[in-house]
Amino acid sequence: MPRDQESLIDIATAIKRILRYTASIDRTSLETNDEKLSATLYQITLS
């Protein structure tokens, strides 16, 4: 599989995880929830 396609799959997977992590939380709550915030930021930096 070409690297560009692998990168797009990784990005799509990270987006799905971020949406799952943040589905039931508003921005203010996310900013104060270290666990969810860290998990979200980790997915961003991975992609």
The tens place of each residue's pLDDT in the chain, 47 residues long, gives 899 999 999 999 999 999 999 999 999 999 999 999 999 999 999 87
Per-residue confidence (pLDDT) for residue 47, from 0 to 100:
72
Which residue is it, tokens 């508003």? 26
Domain residue spans of the chain: 3-46
Per-residue confidence (pLDDT) for residue 1, from 0 to 100:
82
Per-residue confidence (pLDDT) for residue 13, from 0 to 100:
97
Phi, psi of 24 (to 5 degrees): -110, 25
Strand, coil or helix: 30:
helix
Contact 18, 47 (CB under 8 A): no
Per-residue confidence (pLDDT) for residue 44, from 0 to 100:
94
Per-residue confidence (pLDDT) for residue 10, from 0 to 100:
95
What is the model's pTM? 0.83
